[in-house]
Amino acid sequence: MSRRRRGWPLKLLALLLVAGPSLAAFWLGLVPPRFSPLAPLQLDEPAHWFLDFRLAAIKRDETLCRAALASPVVAARPIGDKEVVDGCGWRNAVAVSRAGGARLAAAQVTCEMAAALALWLEHDVQPLAERLLGARVASVDSMGTYACRNIIGSRALTAFRSQHATANAIDISGFRLADGQSIVVARDWRSVTRKSEFLRAIHAKACGYFRVALSPDYNEAHRDHFHFDRSVMWRCR
């Protein structure tokens, strides 16, 4: 084997040692905006490359958060921090009343979750509702965002705090359309209807905005809702 070929593993290792921490910093939202080469998040624009990193960038930056959520795509107001004690509380959160042209009651949700919800509803849910069901979504039925509790439905993870404990998650049980139609996850997910097609299509799209996007196919605990969050892991099922 030539010296050039023998040197590739070391070069690759060196690249990983340099790139790994950099990617982790972007993933965790630790890179200050002034040092980031990524364009600021714009909610009225469809998803771009590095969207996940751009969402993570507003996780801890209140100024960047307010700028991103100023778009007409979302109606959100800042709320005070709730000190995180024993894994429960929130920082840099907002109260959302409308997103993507639909009513949505979320009394406390992290800024990055609010932005992800608005992008998903505006650029995927609404077009799919019009195409598959003939009407726009007027309201989203939420089962809640903040709850000081551990993960449920998984024996391996019950010792860990849920993302709900930091207002970094939302459970969605259904949708109501402008023409009066209702779509219920518990009822329509496994039906052989356009409503089921709609639910499965928007769940698939959600995987591009939320790091965890769980459907009734995941386990019994999620039989009646979608669970979305922006944790450090990635799971779409």
Write out pLDDT tens, residues 151-208: 987 777 788 999 999 999 999 999 999 999 999 999 999 999 999 999 999 999 999 9
Write out pLDDT tens, residues 117-127: 999 999 999 99
Sign for the pseudo-dihedral over CA of 112, 113, 116, 122 = negative
Q: Kindly report which listed range (2-16, 82-96, 149-163) carries the lowest average pLDDT score.
A: 2-16
pLDDT band, very low/low/confident/very high, at 16 (cuts 50, 70, 90): very low
Answer whether 96's CB lies under 8 Å from 114's CB.
yes
> What ranges make up the beta strands (E) of the chain?
74-78, 82-85, 88-90, 93-99, 102-110, 137-144, 169-177, 182-184, 212-214, 226-229, 235-236
- Angstrom distance (rounded) from CA 59 to CA 236: 21
pLDDT at 115: 97
Q: Residue 17 carries which side chain, given as an amino acid letter?
A: L
